[in-house]
Structure 1
Amino acid sequence: MNDSLWWLLSGGLILAGLAGIVLPALPGTILVLGGIVLAAWIDDFQRVGYFTVAVVTVLAVLSWVLEYAAALMGAKRVGASRQAIVGAAIGTVAGIFMGFIGVLFLPLVGAAVGEWLARRDELRAVRVGVATWLGLMVGMVGKVVL
């Protein structure tokens, strides 16, 4: 494969990653990081250096931590059970396969179902689901800012 095709692939990964930062169905941060690492590798880190790769890697890790910490803080703020947090995680993974609406709302449903299974209280389950969802939204906004 010649260098031009590698550069096109690198640019495509970065563009898809930028779209994925706002479209939750795409793993945006991973795609951007992959595109940057590929760009650095193509010419032995001459145009894209080790420092740039290190900075992008740190920002990617911060982005992941921020997104998940915000969701956990939202859930814990209202006293979510472990089942609610597991439900939100399952909802997030299931949502990836169901498009934008699934990624947007299945974490809420998963957290609510998990909380209901733990405590059998519908109002509390809805409150935990909404708080977890709001935490996820704050995390997504933080990811866009980073």
Structure 2
Amino acid sequence: MNPTLLWILSAGLVLVGLAGIVLPALPGTILVLAGLVLGAWIDDFTRVGWFALAAIAVLAVLAWLMDYISAMLGAKRAGASRQAVIGAAIGTVAGIFLGIVGVLFMPLVGAAAGEYLARRNHQQAVRVGISTWIGLMAGMLAKFVLAFMMIGIFLVALLV
């Protein structure tokens, strides 16, 4: 296959992966990783070797873990009940079907609803919902930082 087309595919995977950090239907970190591995493969791993790819893979795993941990840590930090954590998880899954607004705000709604059902305290439910949302946004920011670190390691290995 034409190397130029492969480089275009590699860059496309990375760009779609960056969009996937925000968009729920796309596995962002995995697509960034796939694009970078494809880029290394195009050059037969001569400039981007296994050490650089291992570092990139470690960052990808860390970014992937951010998806699952960030919102729940925010909820736990606010003293959330077990029901609030379950509500945040359900809200996250439900948000996938509601697009970007759902992804951004359904974990908040789910955590607040779960906390309200557990303790019947409006103020605590709102605090838990907001803490969950802050955790989710912090996790998304961390995933962006890690994805750009992955790209940076790749570019340094490729160009130096």
Shorter-chain TM band: 0.7 to 0.9
1:127 offset after TM fit, Å? 1.4
1:85 alignment counterpart: 85
Post-superposition Cα deviations, 1:4-56, rounded to whole Å, max 9, x if no partner, equal 443332221111122334x3434322210111122233454234321221111
Once residues 50 and 93 of structure 2 are traced to their aligned partners in structure 1, the CA distance between those partners, rounded to angstroms, is 33
SS in 1 for 2:11: helix
Mapping 1:1-146, distance limit 5 Å = 2-21=2-21, 23-25=22-24, 26-66=26-66, 68-146=68-146
Q: Structure 2, unaligned stretches of length 5 or more?
A: 147-160
CA-atom RMSD in angstroms: 2.2
1:132 offset after TM fit, Å? 0.7
SS in 1 for 2:137: helix
Instruction: Name the stretch that deviates more: 126-135 or 34-43.
Output: 34-43
Q: Structure 1, unaligned stretches of length 5 or more?
A: none
Instruction: Name the stretch that deviates more: 92-101 or 35-44.
Output: 35-44
Post-superposition Cα deviations, 1:45-96, rounded to whole Å, max 9, x if no partner, equal 2343212211111111222334544423321122111221121122112212
1:130 offset after TM fit, Å? 0.8
Alpha carbons of structure 1 residues 51 and 85: separation in structure 2 relative to 1, 3 Å: same
Post-superposition Cα deviations, 1:90-133, rounded to whole Å, max 9, x if no partner, equal 21122122211111101101111121222232222221111111
Once residues 144 and 43 of structure 2 are traced to their aligned partners in structure 1, the CA distance between those partners, rounded to angstroms, is 29
Once residues 2 and 144 of structure 1 are traced to their aligned partners in structure 2, the CA distance between those partners, rounded to angstroms, is 31
CA contact (8 A) 1:68 1:136 kept: no
CA contact (8 A) 2:87 2:112 kept: yes
The AA in structure 1 aligned to 2:120 is: R
CA contact (8 A) 1:78 1:128 kept: yes
Instruction: Name the stretch that deviates more: 84-93 or 66-75.
Output: 66-75
Once residues 70 and 61 of structure 1 are traced to their aligned partners in structure 2, the CA distance between those partners, rounded to angstroms, is 14
The higher relative CO (CA closer than 8 Å, separation ≥ 6) is in 2
> TM-score, normalized by length of structure 2?
0.76
Once residues 121 and 84 of structure 2 are traced to their aligned partners in structure 1, the CA distance between those partners, rounded to angstroms, is 12
Give % identity. Answer: 67
